[in-house]
A and B are shown apart, each in its own frame.
Chain A
Amino acid sequence: MANMCPYGRFTHAVVRGVPDTFGGAAGDGRENEGAAVDLAKARRQFGCLAGALRQKVGLQLIEIPPDPELPESWRIEDVAIVQGDTALITRPFRQQRRSEAEAVRRVMSELGLTVVEMEGERGDSGGATLEGSDVLFTGREFFVGVSSHTNRRGAEVLADTFRDFAVSTVPVCGGARLKNVCSMGGPDTIVVSSSDGAKKTLRMMEQLTDHHYEVLSVPEEAAANCVYVRGPSKRDFLLHRPAEECPESVSAFQKLQDYTLLPTACGEASKLGASLSSLCLLINRKHSHF
C-alpha cells in the first residue's frame, strides 16, 4: 500500500494546550475521580512532552491553543485518527467533547490531510462512537478496543475509512482504554502491560493478526503507554513514563536496542485516565507512495 510503511515514521505532532479548566470535569464528576490535579504540574509535564517531540525527536510541532470551554481538549488523540493522508474525525463518547474536533479539523486540513467526518458523511452514524485512545494502529492494521467509549459501530466507520487495512476489534477489560494497556514500542513491537486484562486483550490481538509482533511486557499498566517515533534523524525514540512514575518498568525499556529513551512524566494527566499518547497526534506528511 501506498500508505503502508513501518510504524513510527512521523513528521508532525499536533498537541493542544492544557486549559485552565484542566481537571474540571466536562460534565461529570471529575473531581470524584480521586486525587486532585495540579494544573501547573500538568502544564509542565505537557511542556516537557511537547519539547521532547520537537527538540529531541525532531518533529514539527503544531500546538493548538487551549480552549477553556473544552476542559478535555488536551486529549487530542481521541479526536482524530490519522493514517497516511487521511484523518478521521471521531465521534467521542461524550457529547461535550465533540466540539473539540473543530480546531483539530482545521489543522488537519491545513496539513493537507483528507479529512473524513464520522458524522458528516454518514448522518446515520447514530450511536457510533470512537475515540482515538481505543485505536491502536500498528503500521499494518488497526485494532479497535471495544470499550466504554468506543463501540462496534465506531469501529466499522474506522474500517470503512481506512480500507487498506484490516480492522480488528478486541475487547478491553476493566473499563480501561485500549491504549492504556498497550501501545506501539517499535515498528513491530507492542508494549503491553502484564495485567490479566491486558494479556487477554493481547491474546485476542495475536489471534486476529496475520503478522507477528514482538511483545514488550511491562509490569506496570501505566508504563504500557508509550510514544514511539522514528524521527527524521532515522533514530528510534521512545517516550515512556519515567522511573519515578513506573519504577519497575524502566528496565524493560532499556532492553530496546539502539533506542533513545525519553522519560516523560505524565502523572497529572494520568490521574484523569490519560497517558502520554493521549496528548499528541502524530502525523506523517512525507508520504511516499513507493
Chain B
Amino acid sequence: PGRSKMAACSGRGRDGSHSLDKSITLPPDEIFRNLKNAKRFAIDIGGSLTKLAYYSTVEHKVAKVRSFDHSGKDGSSELLYEISVQEEITARLHFIKFENTYIETCLDFIKDHLVNTETKVIKATGCGAHKFKDLLEEKLGLKVDKEDEMSCLIKGCNFVLKNIPHEAFVYVKHADPEFRFQTMQPDVFPYLLVSIGAGVCIVKVESEDKFQRVGGSSIGGGTFWGLGALLTKTKRFDELLQLASRGQHTNVDMLVQDSYGGAYESLGLTGDLIASSFGKSATADKEFSKEDMAKSLLHMISNDIGQLACLYTKLHDLKRVYFGGFFIRGHPVTMHAITYSINFFTKGEVQALFLRHEGYLGAIGAFLKGAEEDNPNQYSWGENYAGSSGLMSTSPDIYPLQRARSGTFDMLEMDRLERQLVSLPLLLDTSSYVPDTVDLAQDAMAREYWLSCFEEALDGVVKRAVASQPDLPDAVERAEKFRRKYLHKLQTLRHQPLTLPGEDGTVAHRKFLQSRYCILVEFTCLNTRSIDIKQKENDIALKCFQRVINSLNALGWEERQFALVKGLLAGNVFDWGAKAVSDVLESVPEFGFEEAKRKLQDRPWLVDSYNEWLERLKGPPHKCALFFVDNSGLDIILGVFPFVRELLSRGTEVVLACNSGPALNDVTYNESQIVTERIAVMDPIIQLALKEERLLLVQTGSSSPCLDLSRLDKGLANLVRERKTDLVIIEGMGRAIHTNYYAALRCESLKLAVIKNSWLAQRLGGKLFSVVFKYEAPPK
C-alpha cells in the first residue's frame, strides 16, 4: 500500500522501436554543432529519450567601430570612425534530444569529432543512466558521474524559467492561439513542480538550492500506459493518446446527470461532471470502444493529478504550478485535461503552467552541476533561434508526419549574453506585458504579409552580405546556406504557425528579425557595409547639425516645439530597415532631410496627441527622460539630438538608450558615443550636459530592431531607478509600433513613428508616411 514516488522513466523504450533502422542517415554536423570546442558533457537518459548537453565556445566575426582621433581638428579626416572586423568568442550551451535507439550512433559521432577536450567526466542522470553507463564510458572514454534525477530537474527548471523569455505557457484548447506564453517573472520562486513520469512527484521549490518533495501519487503516466495497454490492447503510449483524442468519455464514465438526471444544484455540480470514472463499464452486456476507454482513462488520471496538485498548492499557499514529465510532453490532449482539472478544483484561482523546454530540464540540470565553476547562473542566456528547434507540436492529432520526423532530433542552443537582462522598472505590470503588438500566430493576414515581405527582402540581405565580404572566397556559399535556412524557417511558419523552429508560439516579426540576425551571425555574413552606409549618413548629418539648431533657435517657443517633433519624425523616415526607404536610399542617396519633412503626413496625424504633449510642455519640466532611439544618421543627429537638447534646456535629464549590438541601421551604443562626442564639440549645451552627467548614454542589452522592455540591460534599469525617470520616449516602427504600441507604463510616455510600410499603414487606416504620435500619461 501507500503513496508513491515519481519515476520519470518507464522501464523500456517504446515497444517496437528496436526494429527501427539504426543506420538512418543523420545530418550530424547540423545537430552536434561546435563539437571541436565542446566540454562539460552531461546526459539525461530517460525511458525512451536521451538528452545530451555540452558547452562550447563559438567564434564569429563582428564589426566594431572605433573613433578616429579628432583632436587635431584640421578637418582633413572626413571619416567619423574606423571599422574593423574582429573575432568575438561567445559561450554557447547545446542541448540535443533524440530517441534512445540512436544513442550508440550519436556517441560514435561525438567521439570522432571531439578533439582537444580536457573533459574527463560526463554527468549523467535519468533512469537510463545506469543502464547505459558502460556504453558511455566505453564510447566516449569519459567517466560517468551520476547525479540525482530530481535535483537535476529542479536546477534545469530554475534555469529555463530565469533565462528563456516566454518559457512557461498556459494551454487553452480551441483558443487562437492555443498557447499563451507568460512573461518572465522577476522572481520565479516559490513554485510547485508536478512531474508526471510513471508516477507523480510533487516538489515545492523555494529557492535556487532549496526544494522539497512534498508529495506524490502512484497514478501517473505509467498507469495511463499500463492500464491503457490492458484495456485497449494498444501497446504504444502515443497511440493511446491518439485513441484518447478521438474518444467520448461519457460512454464509459458515470456523470452527475446519469444519477441526478441533471445538475446537483445545491452543490453547484454540473450535470456533465464525472461522478464515477468507468462507472458505466460495470456490466457484461456492453462493449466499449478503445477510444472511449482511453479517453475516460486520460480524464481519470489527469483529473486525479490536478486534484492532488491543487491540494498541495493550497496546503503550501502557492500560486504557480508547473507540469512536466513524459505524460505531458507537449501533448495538447493531456495539457487540456490537466488545465481543465486545475481550473475546476481551484475554481479558476490557479493556472496550470507548462514549459517549452520541459524535456531538457534534467539534462540542463546535470550540465549545470558539472559546470558550476563557469558560473552559468551569473549570466543571462538567450535562446539561439538559429540553432533551436523550438516548440514542436507533439500533438497526436496534428501533423503526425511532422511529429514522426521532429521526434527524432530536437535541439536547443543558448548563447551567453554579455549582460544581465531585467525588466524595465517603469512597466505598469510586468506579468501582463507583451512586447509584440500583433501576434502572427493569431493573425493570418499579418502573417502572410510579413512572410512575403521577408521572402522578398531576403535577396537583398544576401546580396549585401556577400558584397560586404569581397575578400572571403566562401562568402557566396555561406550566404546561400543562410538563404536556405532562413527560407526553410519562413516556409515552416507559413504552414504551421505554432511550430516554427525557434519560435515559441507568439510568433512576432520581432523574432524573425532576431532569427535572421542569429543565422547571419552563424554564417558569419555580418555585413560591414551597413556600417559604411551608416557612416556616410552620419557624416552628412553632422555637417547639417549646426544649421538645423540655428534655424530652430530662430523660432518662437511654440513653433519650435512643433519643429522639434517634426524633425524627430522626419529623421525617422531614414531607415533602410524598411523596404520603401531602402529602395530610395540605394537609388538616390542624397534624399534630404527637408524632403523627408515634406513627405510627412500633415496634421491631424493618424494618431495625434500632439496638443496634449504641447500642453504638458507648458507645465513643469520632467525630472528625467529615457529615450529609446532608432536609426543612425539623420535620425539620431538631426532628429533626436535637437529634441534632447531642448529637454536638457528645460532642466530634464536625458538617458539615451541604444542597442548593444548591430541591427539593420540602428544606432549602436558604440556609435552613439562617437556621435555624441562629435556633437558635443559643436554644441555647448550638449557638452555641459555630458560633463555634468545630465545626458547619459546607456545600452539596452539588445541587438534587435524591436524592443522588449522585459529584457533590458540591468545597468539601464538601475539608472532609470536612480534618476527617477518620469518620461519614456520610444521612437520608430520597430520599437513603438510593432512592439510596445500597447505597453502600459507607470510614467508618462511618448511613442512616435512614421509608418514606412504601405501594408501596415493601410491596416492602421492610414497611408504611407502616416504619423503616429502617441502621448500618454499613466492612469491616476
Q: Do A and B assemble together? A: no
